[in-house]
Amino acid sequence: MAASKETAINNLKKARTPEGKAKNIESRMANHALKTAVYDNLKSALASQDKKGVAYYSSFIQKFLDIAKKDPNSKCGQIVAQAIFQQDILTLLDEQHEKEMSKDRDFQRYRLIKDFFKEQRDVILETNHSKRIIACCSRRAGKTDLASGAINYAAIIPESRIIYINLTFTNAINQIWNNTVKRAEVMGLEIAKSSKADGTIEFGNGSSLRIMGNPNNSEIEKLRGESKVSLIIIDEFFHQRNMQYAIDEVISPLMADRKDSTLLCIGTPPRLAKTYGEKCWGEKGWKKFHWTMFENPYMPDPQEYLDDYCKNKGISIDSPFIQREYFGKMGVYDTEALVFKDRKTYNVFDKNEPITGVCIGVDYGFSDYNAVISVAYNKETKKSWVVKESKFNKAGVSDIIEVIQEHYKEAVELCEINRIDKENIFIYADTNEESITYDLMNKYHLPAFNCYKYDKIYAIQLLSEELRTGRMKIPNNGILDTEMEQILYQRDDADDSILPEIDEEIGIHPDAAMALLYATRKVFFDMDYAISFKETQPTTSNFKKTESGTIIGIVDNKKDEFEDLGTIG
């Protein structure tokens, strides 16, 4: 016994020597290799197939189950019974199924995001974790790819509802459709049903995508009634219109049903000042990301590209356009394209200022904003002032008429102060709701006429010049002053030159400015400026009546009488 103990101690000492340790390691490695070889051979044997293509393990299991079924009291039957009747077997099977599905989803997501670069991955992985995400990028930074990736990443989770919004429906489809479908195919996400014309995709797992544009308030309103939305993407966010209303009143309620829902806003910095997007960029409560094309590894040589671009355009790398569009710098505005530069304003209008008339312009905008602008003017001194401004939405016909009546009432008071006849008051309204103008003239006996819309480009240039010289003044920080801060001319996509048309796709619709334009047609005509003008009364020939005589709309095939108005505005 003592000898055995002594032998054990000596063996332990030998095992602790360097030689002993090396021998132990060698022995364990040999055992591991042998074990691996046995398992490999066993797996190969189990997976081997017979002449009918049936694997050995499959045949063995089936035979085992057949014996258990034939004789439940046999050893095979007892083993199967223990497996079936163990506690919570269905729960265990369900958990195992969920684990397998989770592994599949994780693998799908891995296959998806592995092709994105770091900045894109950071945003995609943040979805379903942050409620509000905003990404401000330069051109060529991979924003479109990011959007399609985020859509598919969310769609992997069954029953996910996703909404993608761009400036217009056409832009939305062109930007996102092909990328989304292609990525879904690559990652094995089945598309059960789709309609490019409707902008909808339904995935095989119950997830869905809705693609839409945001040209006016009425389109966003169509989202009301949606529920349990997991992801909403707003592309070109800094150039979108009515975003505060859209997010606060329509979009946020759609996300209330899910804790993991995300609003993802992406785009390049705005060309104009005081946008809601820029306000969000400076606020807390948003997870913010910023990168440029220089972080995009799929751009072969961004610096060479930018140098060539600047050379071809004849601009420097320090120009506001390059800094905003290619370096993604916020607060670098396109002041060169401002329509109403250096406009002159006043703080208080002197009602004793001599005037010869008042013109009231009306812009009907049921899908955007309604605007009513009153202009007092003196045709002898060629001076004019905007004396009353109104801009409002969600208004019915009676509300619009009430605001116009208020403007007319104040115009009458100005005429009385100046001791001129109220016959010098005129109302010029947009032609897209002529039935209201007809009611103003016939039911309320107001001097209402159809506005004149020829030579729109020249009329805008003349208005801009009158404001620049101070011959016309508007209220300081008023509705027009604020709106004109954001009215820009379009730029040519090819050479970035300024075009003479107002850009209405970058965040603001010039409702008040259009109402002012309608009013100043008459003002400038009375001042003997070289501007064309035609005064036309609305007539019933253009309207359809009910049996009671109520006007309910314009008849499309009876508008010849108004064709000469040139309704292009």
Residue 393: per-residue pLDDT:
83
CB neighbours of 557 closer than 8 A, spacing ≥ 6?
none
DSSP-assigned letters across all residues of 347-363 = SS--TTS--SEEEEEEE
Nearest to 364 by CA among 222, 509, 534: 509
* The 191-195 sheet, strands edge to edge: 191-195, 200-203, 208-213, 161-166, 229-234, 262-267, 132-137, 287-291
> How is residue 78 written in tokens?
């007892």
Residue 558: per-residue pLDDT:
30
CA 323 – CA 306 distance, rounded (Å):
11
Residue 567: per-residue pLDDT:
28
The phi and psi torsions of 137 (rounded to 5 degrees) equal -130, 170
Alpha helices in 334-396 (DSSP H): none
CB neighbours of 218 closer than 8 A, spacing ≥ 6?
366, 367
Residue 496: per-residue pLDDT:
75
Q: Model's pTM, two decimal places? A: 0.67
Is residue 207 within 8 Å of residue 160, measured between CB atoms? yes
Residue 20: per-residue pLDDT:
64
CA 249 – CA 259 distance, rounded (Å):
19
CB neighbours of 4 closer than 8 A, spacing ≥ 6?
none
CB neighbours of 196 closer than 8 A, spacing ≥ 6?
173, 177
The phi and psi torsions of 545 (rounded to 5 degrees) equal -110, 150
The phi and psi torsions of 544 (rounded to 5 degrees) equal -100, 135
> How is residue 5 written in tokens?
């103990």
Residue 79: per-residue pLDDT:
82
CA 164 – CA 279 distance, rounded (Å):
22
Is residue 427 within 8 Å of residue 360, measured between CB atoms? yes
Q: Provide the angle, in degrees to the nearest 10, between the axes of the packed helices 143-155 and 169-187.
A: 60
CA 263 – CA 116 distance, rounded (Å):
20
Q: Which positions of the chain have pLDDT values less than 70?
A: 1-26, 28-34, 36, 38, 86-103, 366-367, 507, 530-569
Domains for the chain: give ranges and CATH numbers: 55-79 (no CATH), 115-325 (3.40.50.300), 345-565 (3.30.420.280)
3-state secondary structure of 346: strand
- Output the 3-class SS for 135-155: EEECCCCCHHHHHHHHHHHHH
